Structure 1
Amino acid sequence: MAGFRWWFMAVLVVACWMKGVAGQARQQQAPAIWVFGDSLVESGNNNFLRSTARADFYPYGSDYYRGPTGRFSNARTFSDILGDWLGIAAPPPFSDPTAAGNRIMGGVNYASAAGGILDETGQHYGDRYSLNQQVVNFETTLSQLRTMMNPESLNQLLSNSIVVMVFGSNDYINNYLMPNIYATSRTYTPTAFANLLLNRYSRQIEALYSQGLRKFFLPGIGPLGCIPNQLATGQAPPGRCADSVNQMLGPFNEGLRGLVGQFNGGSHPGATFVYGNTYGVFGDILNNPGRYGFTVRDKACCGFGQGQITCVPLETPCFNHDQYVFWDAFHPTQAANGVLAQRAYSGTTNDCFPMNVQQLAQVRPM
């Protein structure tokens, strides 16, 4: 009985601590969150598109209270958890017919699996929303909001909202690193390709700024050479990542950080841009997995472990989900997404530059 009482008290302490964290997360720090990006943050847009890049089947959503929703995870994505920290409920996917009226007041998720900065990226998967199309979709939402709010209230909503943009990974995985389908690697050096991406990216960020958005969180690309999909290509020595892949990401990440500094330099009055060091944070998880409770860092929980694929419908995944860094060959588990979101929300300047998302939410646009 003494052992049981000790165990019960330990569980009670942990439960109280979790309740405190949840209470902190429920304190709303921004009126809305607008999510643009790819499958790392998608919440179900591709369910409504003619696309083979979908996650609306088990074992996706194995640990999510709604089951499979189109999220490429066992439960919540990075943006879902970041929204929790900000006290904002996960916004509905743009394609969902019910995403209208009061449901869009807290933001909308435009992210689409296989979508990239370049329009052609991921075209072998069928329909998807590229960055350009996602911006067009946002303008559609804006037209709806204009019928629901007066101009001053809408301006306040937009200028105080948090914008999360997660792009770039597909432009490498589903474009540059597929020379049999796309010509980009034969046309551009890694530096020239990064410059092409950043040029297109900056144009659409400008477009969103011109519509009234003022608080942007722009994460860089993680170490793609370390994901199970790339490990399975045989380019990496046993126990190591594909360094050639990771090295080609440097110009993009460095360029994006430079772009953030440039945008914050006075060319965009009233706006604040934050760069997220995804590469560094995810690298820390992979280099020190035990610090975060992970025991498996080089195999996926589903998709047959160290393979090149996503989960297979009705496949039985690994048993200990939270001990795996990767859910499938491309995407993190909810546990890994939780680390990324926490570091984005309250991390140091090594994680976010020039401030973290918590501080970004406190900025008052001029």
Structure 2
Amino acid sequence: MDKGGVVTFFFLALICFFRVSESAASTAMFIFGDSLIDNGNNNYIPSIAKANYFPYGIDVGIPTGRFCNGLTVTDYGARYLGLEFPPPYLSLSSGTAAILRGVNYASAAAGILDDTGRNYGSRVTFNGQIELFAKTLMLQLPLLIPNSEALSQYIANSLFVINIGSNDYINNYLLPNLYTSSRTYSGDEFAQLLIANFATQLEALYKLGARKMLLVGIGPLGCIPSQLSINNSTGACVERINELVMAFNKRLVPVMLELNSTLPGSFFVYENTYDSFYDIIKNPSKYGSEER
């Protein structure tokens, strides 16, 4: 897959975000999610979901804990906005000024549901990431921005990137030998369960002062290598899995619109990664890649 195409979609979402938003430019980025944007938090916890060894990081010469060759899409997003890369939360010492550029709380194997990803050992769940942000807000940032009004404005002007939900499928619902969710809920019921929890979590971030939130939808999980190796030896996308994901994504958009209309001062933007990635997979030549 062409990384340039993936990064372009993220940049387009950012451009849309700031063209529509009339508020001040963001001065910091706070990142929540899973392995797609984890930049090293799992290096510090007992988990088998780690990326601190080669070939991870091969493009930059050293493994950092990012689950990619070099930089994540949020790293490129920070660079596009003229921001320094937000450090992984678990790497920070108390009172460090580095948090003024934002913090990355993302943790590989994390999900919307607390139970998700336990097959990998420790991980910081989305609820746990929100708790860590609350700690940053209540205990660490006031040491650097002691004026409460200035701190509130700093948080309101910051960009919150949230990319979560994939593991709730690939490391929960689609592992029936380890989790009961697929026997308890239909695909639509599970999507609704995730959405209900997700909406509550987004409201929790809002109550902590977050206003600009970029919500990244779940991509076509039926097309990723792990699911192809388990479910389809032909290399064709597993549409049954993609349909599960679409049940979540189609529910996320109206929730986003409702939050925008009911939470004063909020600005939520949805990034439709599903259609973007699916088009790359189905039409690689459009993005400068050859079909294999």
Q: State TM-score, norm by structure 2.
A: 0.88
Aligned pairs for 1:120-199 (under 5 A) are 120-142=115-137, 143-149=139-145, 150-199=147-196
Aligned to 1:44: 40
Mind listing any 5+ residue stretches in structure 2 that lack a counterpart? 1-10, 16-23
Supply the distance in 1 between the matched residues of 2:263 and 2:60 (Cα, whole angstroms): 39
1:95 is paired with a residue whose SS is helix
Aligned to 1:89: 84
Aligned to 2:229: 232
Mind listing any 5+ residue stretches in structure 1 that lack a counterpart? 1-20, 298-366
Shift of 1:98: 4.0
1:275 is paired with a residue whose SS is strand
CA contact (8 A) 1:221 1:279 kept: yes
CA contact (8 A) 1:46 1:112 kept: yes
Question: Which amino acid is 2:103 matched to?
Answer: V
1:121 is paired with a residue whose SS is coil
Supply the distance in 1 between the matched residues of 2:66 and 2:233 (Cα, whole angstroms): 31
Q: Deviations over 1:183-212 (max 9, x none)?
A: 000000011101111111111111110111
Aligned to 1:295: 290
Structure 1 residues 203 and 62: alpha-carbon distance in aligned structure 2, compared to 1, 3 A threshold: same
Supply the distance in 2 between the matched residues of 1:107 and 1:77 (Cα, whole angstroms): 16
Shift of 1:86: 1.4
2:88 is paired with a residue whose SS is coil
Supply the distance in 1 between the matched residues of 2:269 and 2:94 (Cα, whole angstroms): 28
Aligned to 1:271: 266
Larger radius of gyration: 1
Aligned to 2:52: 56
Supply the distance in 2 between the matched residues of 1:111 and 1:204 (Cα, whole angstroms): 15
Identity score, percent: 47
Aligned pairs for 1:208-247 (under 5 A) are 208-233=205-230, 235-236=231-232, 238-247=234-243
Shift of 1:153: 1.4
Q: Are residues 1:118 and 2:113 paired?
A: yes
Supply the distance in 2 between the matched residues of 1:41 and 1:220 (Cα, whole angstroms): 13
Shift of 1:290: 2.0
Supply the distance in 1 between the matched residues of 2:159 and 2:202 (Cα, whole angstroms): 13
Structure 1 residues 159 and 97: alpha-carbon distance in aligned structure 2, compared to 1, 3 A threshold: closer
Aligned to 2:27: 31
Question: Which amino acid is 1:76 matched to?
Answer: L
Q: Deviations over 1:49-83 (max 9, x none)?
A: 00000000010000025x10100000111111111
Question: Which amino acid is 2:166 matched to?
Answer: S
CA contact (8 A) 2:95 2:143 kept: no
Question: Which amino acid is 2:41 matched to?
Answer: N
Structure 1 residues 29 and 85: alpha-carbon distance in aligned structure 2, compared to 1, 3 A threshold: farther
Supply the distance in 2 between the matched residues of 1:100 and 1:269 (Cα, whole angstroms): 31
Aligned to 1:283: 278
Shift of 1:90: 1.2
Aligned length: 269
CA contact (8 A) 2:52 2:64 kept: yes
CA contact (8 A) 1:223 1:246 kept: yes
Aligned to 1:11: none
Supply the distance in 1 between the matched residues of 2:178 and 2:291 (Cα, whole angstroms): 32
Supply the distance in 1 between the matched residues of 2:78 and 2:183 (Cα, whole angstroms): 40
Runs of 4+ in 1 over 6 A off after TM superposition: none
Structure 1 residues 198 and 189: alpha-carbon distance in aligned structure 2, compared to 1, 3 A threshold: same
CA contact (8 A) 2:223 2:238 kept: yes
Supply the distance in 1 between the matched residues of 2:179 and 2:84 (Cα, whole angstroms): 38
Supply the distance in 2 between the matched residues of 1:195 and 1:80 (Cα, whole angstroms): 31
Question: Which amino acid is 1:162 matched to?
Answer: L
